[in-house]
């Protein structure tokens, strides 16, 4: 169960990320964190074991992309695919923070997709769907945004998901300090549209967000 201190930490951190949250969204995010902690005992959803650390390393880390995402979409309705979503990071967090978006999470591990479906049912998230599949075999209508947090290198991420981008769609990759080497390894048919540093409250680690699109 969450404490008033954790609720304040989440509210303050989200505001610092230019992603203010309502009371219902705070409740949903903390309930989601509690579900991760409970299921993690059996299903090994994450290597982070402490609920307090999950709040920063999972919830706030995922919320850091919301403001850049909204800025990019400029208020347009959109479908977003979270690839290699695991326990739903960042997809579930985006679905809670951005109810205007249709969020799909895909993972090759069945128990992780099952967990995300359960989260959607328990938290009442009609804009969240989960798929158990290898992303290269996934057949769905195109997405305006395809994202990943800890899925693969940039080259592999873009190669495996290109068929899932809608016309004019973009990749949104959450990355750490290895990003420059990965950028150099990108093929010529992938264009880097921009890169921005993410400052996650309470997290002493390098984070950045890359925007990419098919070249040409």
What's the chain's Rg over C-alpha atoms?
A: 16
Burial category of 67 from C-beta neighbours within 10 Å (exposed 0-12, middle 13-18, buried 19 and up)? middle
Tens digits of per-residue pLDDT, 131-165?
A: 999 999 999 999 999 999 978 999 999 999 999 99
Tens digits of per-residue pLDDT, 61-120?
A: 999 999 999 999 999 989 999 999 999 999 999 999 999 999 999 999 999 999 999 999
* Structural domains in the chain plus CATH codes: 62-214 (3.40.50.150)
The angle subtended at Cα 91 by Cα 197 and Cα 171, nearest 5°, is 55
Distance of alpha carbon 23 from the chain centroid: 21
Distance CA 43, CA 133 (A): 18
| Residues in CB range of 159: below 8 A, 6 or more apart | 187
pLDDT at residue 88 in the model: 94
| Residues in CB range of 189: below 8 A, 6 or more apart | 214, 215, 216
Instruction: Find tokens 């068929």 and name the residue.
Output: 163
Burial category of 167 from C-beta neighbours within 10 Å (exposed 0-12, middle 13-18, buried 19 and up)? exposed
pLDDT at residue 47 in the model: 66
Distance CA 40, CA 32 (A): 12
Distance of alpha carbon 1 from the chain centroid: 23
Instruction: Find tokens 């989440």 and name the residue.
Output: 10
Q: pTM (2 decimals)?
A: 0.95
Instruction: Find tokens 């950028």 and name the residue.
Output: 183
Helix axes 23-43, 4-16, angle to 10 degrees: 110
Task: Count CA within 13 A, CB hemisphere, residue 132.
Answer: 9
pLDDT at residue 179 in the model: 92
Tens digits of per-residue pLDDT, 5-55?
A: 999 999 999 999 999 999 999 999 999 999 988 888 777 777 667 777 889
């Amino acid at each position: 169960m969450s404490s008033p201190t954790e609720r304040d930490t989440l509210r303050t951190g989200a505001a610092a990320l230019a992603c203010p949250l309502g009371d219902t969204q705070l409740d949903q995010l903390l309930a989601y964190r509690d579900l991760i902690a409970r299921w993690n005992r059996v299903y090994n959803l994450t290597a982070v074991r402490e609920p307090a650390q999950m709040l920063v390393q999972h919830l706030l880390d995922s919320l850091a992309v919301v403001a850049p995402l909204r800025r990019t979409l400029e208020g347009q309705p959109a479908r977003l695919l979270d690839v290699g979503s695991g326990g739903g990071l960042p997809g579930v967090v985006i679905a809670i923070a951005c109810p205007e978006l249709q969020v799909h999470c895909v993972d090759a591990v069945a128990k992780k997709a099952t967990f995300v479906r359960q989260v959607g049912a328990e938290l009442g998230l009609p804009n969240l769907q989960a798929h158990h599949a290898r992303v290269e075999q996934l057949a769905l209508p195109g997405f305006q945004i395809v994202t990943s947090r800890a899925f693969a290198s940039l080259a592999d991420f873009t190669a495996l998901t290109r068929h899932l981008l809608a016309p004019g769609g973009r990749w949104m990759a959450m990355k750490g300090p290895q990003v420059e080497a990965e950028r150099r390894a990108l093929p010529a048919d992938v264009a880097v549209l921009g890169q921005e540093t993410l400052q996650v409250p309470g997290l002493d680690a390098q984070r950045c967000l890359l925007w990419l699109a098919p070249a040409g």
